[in-house]
Amino acid sequence: MVRFPHKRSVRTFVVRIASALAASALLPAGGVAAAGPAAAAGLTQVSDFGSNPGSLNMYSFVPANLPGNAPLVVALHGCTQSANDYYGHSGWPKYADLYKFALVLPEQPSQTSPLINCFDWGTPGDDDRGKGEALSIYQMVQYAEANYHVDPSRIYITGLSAGAGMTADMLADYPDVFAGGSIDSGPAAQCSTSGITNASCTSGTTTRTPRQWGDLIRNSDPGYGGPWPRVAVWQGSSDTTVNPAELTYNRDGWTDVWGTGQTPSRTRSLTGGTTENFYDDADGQAAVVTFSVSGMAHGLAVDPGSGTDQCGTTGTYYLDSICSSYYTAQFFGLDRTGPAAPTGLTVTGSTDTSVSLSWNAVPGAASYDIYRDGTLVNTSPVTGTAYTDTGLDTGTTYRYTVAAVDSTGTIGDRAAAVNATTEAATCFTDDNYHQVAAGRAHQTLGEVHANGSNQDMGLYNTYVTHTLRETSTGSYVVVDGPC
């Protein structure tokens, strides 16, 4: 965390640097946010969540009757804000109650950071894996796993402005922890190594290729190869604090990591002048989505009201447009009530025409659906935790995932996909006499038949020639053509 050599009052500090570094520090010029509402019932401070090297505060909201293995959402406030402020304005408690997930709200309490209450998304000592604020936030996740019994495979993170910058870093630092995240009006992951006042990371002037943005993500946890978190990016088109180009930079890095390319798979229009672009993975599921809100300035998009798709209250940096928390919750899959995604999906074997899979059992699952390259392949319910897919092409790579299905027919989230390659076919071309001599066929009363399939190959002599393909050990079929 960046520290200054002597104390200044908050007002003097903000006036002195806000106008020059507003964009880079994620605070509009001239502004200190209004205080948030009084803490709502249920928001609780936790003081013993770990060693807390980043000196953060932890608050949590656990809805009544939270089921076991519920999801967890970590929500990070912006500069000049607090956990209580974000809790009261963002709309996240509404969906925690509605969809039954735990909510953790870290808080940056410092009054002497580059700007007050800013998460330090730009200093390696605070935003790298295992260090400073990043480690403190991870310790909060560990606390929630141990004490709220949340599902380790359904942990998500979201944040606004400086909180969005830290969200991007956390997704890159801990891709093995977070299933998804939402970056709301913030810079791209690991853009800065010189603190949060690095204007090039918020002004839209940074020039990096998608591969370079992707490398910053990959290098945050060296050696990790996936699966990657699914990522949403929100941005107002009239934001003068975080340039709208930052949406592109965030998109470029995460689509590069996913290997989807930067051309949308599909697009839809939402309320509030919002355009949503989808970037689908190989299974046809959205790996990255972007939400561009026309005319919105710097802040979190909210839409006060009682509708299911309405949330939040307006205030400083909470802007009346669209309920971003609702659409983010949908993207995370928090509205789905089906079984959890299977874990441990593994390729246990393959032949030239088949692939065998296994996975761990899911509580509450009545059966499982198996998907090959995004298409359902089983024609009847699979009640066990293993499956063999047959009739495949030889020497071909396929992508598999599995979803649990409960007794009502509700399909849960899909497991992290795995790739499997069938073996190249082994064929033997020879005359019937030598096919028998090699043990690939047998003869009875002068007629030759392929071992295993027992296909008729004709007379037992050196004049009739066939090509046999081995389908399994000691079993052959006549192909008499390309193997």
- The residues annotated as belonging to the active site are 161
Q: Give the burial class of 161: count Cβ atoms within 10 A of its Cβ; 0-12 exposed, 13-18 middle, 19 or more buried.
A: buried
- Virtual CA dihedral for 242, 182, 175, 206, nearest 10 degrees? -20
Element (H, E) at 269: strand 266-270
Residues 403 and 362: beta-carbon distance below 8 Å: no
Q: Give the burial class of 31: count Cβ atoms within 10 A of its Cβ; 0-12 exposed, 13-18 middle, 19 or more buried.
A: middle
Q: Which tokens in the block code for residue 173? A: 């630092």
Residue at token pair 């509402």 = 37
The SS3 of residue 100 is coil
Q: Alpha helices of 259-371 — where are they, by DSSP H?
A: 324-332
Element (H, E) at 382: none
CA distance 152 to 423: 35
CA distances from residue 396 to 353, 370, 391, 420, 475 in whole angstroms, order as listed: 9, 18, 12, 8, 21
CA distances from residue 449 to 443, 453, 457, 462, 473 in whole angstroms, order as listed: 6, 8, 5, 15, 16
**DSSP assignments along 143-163, one per residue:** HHHHHT---TTSEEEEEETHH
Phi-psi map region of 234: left, alpha, beta (phi>0 left; psi -120 to 50 alpha)? beta
Q: Which tokens in the block code for residue 309? A: 């798709």
- Virtual CA dihedral for 189, 193, 197, 203, nearest 10 degrees? -50
**DSSP assignments along 210-237, one per residue:** HHHHHHHHHTTSTT---PPPEEEEEEET
